[in-house]
Structure 1
Amino acid sequence: MTVVTAPGGPRANARPFLYGDEITALARALESGQYGHGAETEAFERELAAYLDVPDVVAVATGTAALHLALLAAGVRPGDEVVVPSLTFCASVQAIAATGARPRFVDVDPATLCTTADHLRAALTPATRAVMPVLYGGRAIDLADVREHLAARDIAIVEDAAHAFGSVNGLRRVGATGDLTCFSFDAIKALTCGDGGAVVPRTAREAAILRRARALGIPQTRAERGAAVSYTVEGAGFRYHLSTLHAAIGRVQLARFPEMETRRRSLWITYETALREIENVTVVDLDVANTVPFTCTVLVPAPLRDEVHTRLRAAEIAVGVHYPLNHLQPAFRSWASPLPRSESLWRQILTLPFHPAMTANDVHTVAAALRRTLRLTTSTTYAEATAPDQDLDHLKAPR
């Protein structure tokens, strides 16, 4: 049974997808009486580690918490710099700011909307302590050309893989390539806990640091948890644990994840085929054979994008623009430097409705609406560009 939540189809840009068994799992967790971190959370961690083929996974409350803790585990401190693309959700930058470090914004590749090894290398300074590649849309990033250079300078790679659970990098899943990798399991992700996240640590020491920091700085072994003893606070910490209730949902989602991979890949391929022949539309490549797609993003000419967005929203096609550039945000302006390529690219981005409850008919509805809107917008723009300037009529000589 699938639990259907409104709105659906093209009227929602993204939405949760549940299989139905989550309700039974939640009831079981509620009946246990253990609602904080507990056995259900630890079972979820073990199952995630098995799926990713890694030694350990540390579950946390949100994807943002995952990024914050991963940066701290990597040794990022006040005064350090972290290289990050401007084109990302603001959570990436807020996590950097929470450590006291400074974001150093970089461009992305227009073909993938991901940063590249060359972008990262060019942005390094003596203050760089970490780089944060963002796996936009779920696509993995090949950093082979810069890994050795980063390691020689003791610069950590903290992957923002919020979009990319299940995607593949080479022969291994994202998260199993040796970096500190952070996932989000919020409501609209391919795997949802309702809200949640996880960090893949590089070492047992990092795992211990992460577990202590997510529990308000209190180190607890599994054997000690629940014992009637006083606790010790050994360092900085946060209330970042993943609750048993959220973990119960995540376990059901993970068990059914192969279905989600198939649904999302099929949906993206249907979109790519439907959009292929539409003039003035370029589909952002997600390397779908190796990606569990999170979005379907297209580029349309900058003079048309805003009008196309407005017209489609008015027609109840829930398009969006993901994401506003962070170096232009008021909160981050003090760290900004000009990024003309990102600014030009951002004016072309349009994200189409994309969620696994959509049907092939929904995709063709969106594609047809986009085609019609582009034709109308293009003709209107051309007419406006070639029309006489009525404001100057009073200056013309009388006939």
Structure 2
Amino acid sequence: MTTLSRPDAARNASPYLYGAEAEAVARVLADGQYGHNEVTEEFERQVAAFLGVPDAVAVTSGTAALHTALTAAGIGPGDEVIVPSLTFCATVQAVLAVGAEPRFVEVDPRTLCLDHEIVRDALTPATRAVVPVLFGGRAVDLTPVQAVLAERGIVVVEDAAHAFGSHGPNGRVGATGDLTCFSFGPIKNLTCGQGGIVIPRTPREAEDVRRFRLLGVVQSQAERATLTGYQVDGYGLRYQMSAINAAIGLAQLPRFTTTEQARRTLWSAYRDALTDIEEVALVDVDADRSVPHLCQIRIPGRDKVFHALKASGIGVGVHYPPNHLQPAFARWHRPLPATERLGREILSLPFHQHMTQDDVDQVVTALRHVLTTRVRS
């Protein structure tokens, strides 16, 4: 069977650096100030400018961004948060971190995202927030249910960990008026090595987010150096992004147009190569508007295909096991037959910027071989 010979190409995902990142980090190290400083603040300003929003607040991870945003939105014990079961467990852990109750719901099988009808049907008197997951980079449009949410005082906190740079119906994700959370982990569309950012809706929310990410401290660094020291106004955690991580992000941002085009081209290459394989359904990421983060297919009998491709050196993966079936979240289990079927069918193909057209062709050739062998057996 055909295998991918290059180690980078054989992975399911891989970080992509342009070369300037090492120099940017070296400058921070030479400066001797490694923590949160003006480098982090410059990264925040540039992300805000890129998205076309008034403010952006950098934190240590996408999970920290979700936790911070939910806190700033006033979500807490006794509140119910609608969240798709099909997401990385970090989405659920952030809900639990504020003491709220996750209400797991289905997703649209074509997109693996929430839609407005799912949200409308899931609302209960206890619902205080909705966390749409922008799966694979695809924007989620909740406009048809927005009036209902606003009337009930329900906040939308977007989990856009996969979707930095993607467009929705009203502009880039993050500019829609909702609280939006991005992740800048190693394999994301834009990486800081590790990190995340919160896009607040109001100056007051921005202030609350900044206070929470610094242990509830309100003074500036200069004010904290005075005799009176600092003042703690509320609960918070140590969620500030370091200058080292921000420097990596600052080096990546000017090249994002290249990232955007490369990921769209790669996804389109897969789409074209998979068109005539009847057993395979490609998950639609709306590549014309999104910056794809994953390339996923749905395929009955997924497990045998997964093992066969792995054995041939193809770095396939599963994103993600449904959360309502996880032992840690058993308390909130409810039957979700569509999600359970998706959990048995979804398969992530290798997808990252080290890949070439030849790599895509080899992956699809290997997939065809596995499917043909399966039919014969």
CA distance in 2, matches of 1:209, 1:231: 16
What's the offset of the Cα at 1:222?
6.6
Aligned partners of 1:275 and 1:367 also within 8 Å: yes
Counterpart amino acid of 2:231? T
CA distance in 1, matches of 2:376, 2:79: 51
CA distance in 2, matches of 1:66, 1:12: 27
Q: Which runs of 5+ in 1 are unaligned?
A: 1-5, 381-399
Partner of 2:3: none
SS state at 2:223 partner = coil
* Residue 331 (structure 2) pairs with residue 337 (structure 1): no
More displaced, 130-139 or 214-223? 214-223
CA distances 1:299-348 after superposition (whole Å, capped 9, x unpaired): 112xx210000000011101111100000000000011110111012211
Change (3 A) 1:257 1:222: farther
Aligned partners of 1:212 and 1:220 also within 8 Å: no
Counterpart amino acid of 1:54? V
What's the offset of the Cα at 1:167?
0.2
Partner of 1:361: 358
Partner of 1:391: none
SS state at 1:265 partner = helix
Change (3 A) 1:246 1:225: farther
CA distance in 1, matches of 2:222, 2:172: 31
CA distances 1:229-260 after superposition (whole Å, capped 9, x unpaired): 51111101101000000000000111111110
Counterpart amino acid of 1:106? V
RMSD, matched Cα: 1.1
- The one of 306, 325, 332 aligned to 1:328: 325
CA distance in 2, matches of 1:7, 1:163: 24
Aligned partners of 1:82 and 1:132 also within 8 Å: yes
Partner of 1:151: 150
Aligned partners of 1:46 and 1:57 also within 8 Å: yes
Counterpart amino acid of 1:37? H
CA distance in 2, matches of 1:223, 1:172: 37
Question: Following superposition of structure 1 onto structure 2, how do residues 200-349 of structure 1 map, counting pairs within 5 Å?
Answer: 200-221=199-220, 224=223, 229-301=228-300, 304-349=301-346
CA distance in 1, matches of 2:29, 2:361: 42
Partner of 1:7: 7
Counterpart amino acid of 1:254? L
After TM superposition, what 4+ stretches of structure 1 lie above 4 angstroms from structure 2?
Answer: 225-229
Partner of 1:113: 112
SS state at 1:215 partner = coil
Counterpart amino acid of 2:15? P
Partner of 2:375: 378
What's the offset of the Cα at 1:219?
1.0
Identity %: 58
Counterpart amino acid of 1:18? L
Aligned partners of 2:137 and 2:166 also within 8 Å: yes
Aligned partners of 1:158 and 1:179 also within 8 Å: yes
CA distance in 2, matches of 1:267, 1:247: 27
CA distance in 2, matches of 1:53, 1:68: 23
Aligned partners of 2:170 and 2:176 also within 8 Å: no
Aligned partners of 1:117 and 1:142 also within 8 Å: yes
Between 1 and 2, higher relative CO (CA 8 Å, sep ≥ 6) is seen in 2
CA distance in 2, matches of 1:95, 1:107: 19
CA distance in 1, matches of 2:350, 2:260: 17
Counterpart amino acid of 1:7? P
Question: Following superposition of structure 1 onto structure 2, how do residues 128-143 of structure 1 map, counting pairs within 5 Å?
Answer: 128-143=127-142
Counterpart amino acid of 2:11? A
CA distance in 2, matches of 1:270, 1:236: 48
* Residue 348 (structure 2) pairs with residue 351 (structure 1): yes
SS state at 2:129 partner = strand
CA distances 1:47-95 after superposition (whole Å, capped 9, x unpaired): 0000000000000000000000000111101111100000000000000
Counterpart amino acid of 2:331? S
Counterpart amino acid of 2:269? T
What's the offset of the Cα at 1:223?
5.8
CA distance in 2, matches of 1:193, 1:225: 27
What's the offset of the Cα at 1:225?
6.1
What's the offset of the Cα at 1:43?
0.1
**Rg (Cα) greater in structure:** 1
Aligned partners of 1:185 and 1:195 also within 8 Å: yes
Aligned partners of 2:69 and 2:157 also within 8 Å: yes
CA distance in 2, matches of 1:325, 1:113: 11
CA distance in 1, matches of 2:79, 2:367: 44
Counterpart amino acid of 1:355? H
Aligned partners of 2:224 and 2:230 also within 8 Å: no
SS state at 1:109 partner = coil
SS state at 1:183 partner = strand
What's the offset of the Cα at 1:220?
2.7
SS state at 2:276 partner = coil
CA distance in 2, matches of 1:225, 1:191: 33
CA distance in 2, matches of 1:128, 1:258: 39
* Residue 118 (structure 2) pairs with residue 124 (structure 1): no
What's the offset of the Cα at 1:7?
3.3
SS state at 2:260 partner = helix
What's the offset of the Cα at 1:221?
3.6
SS state at 1:347 partner = helix
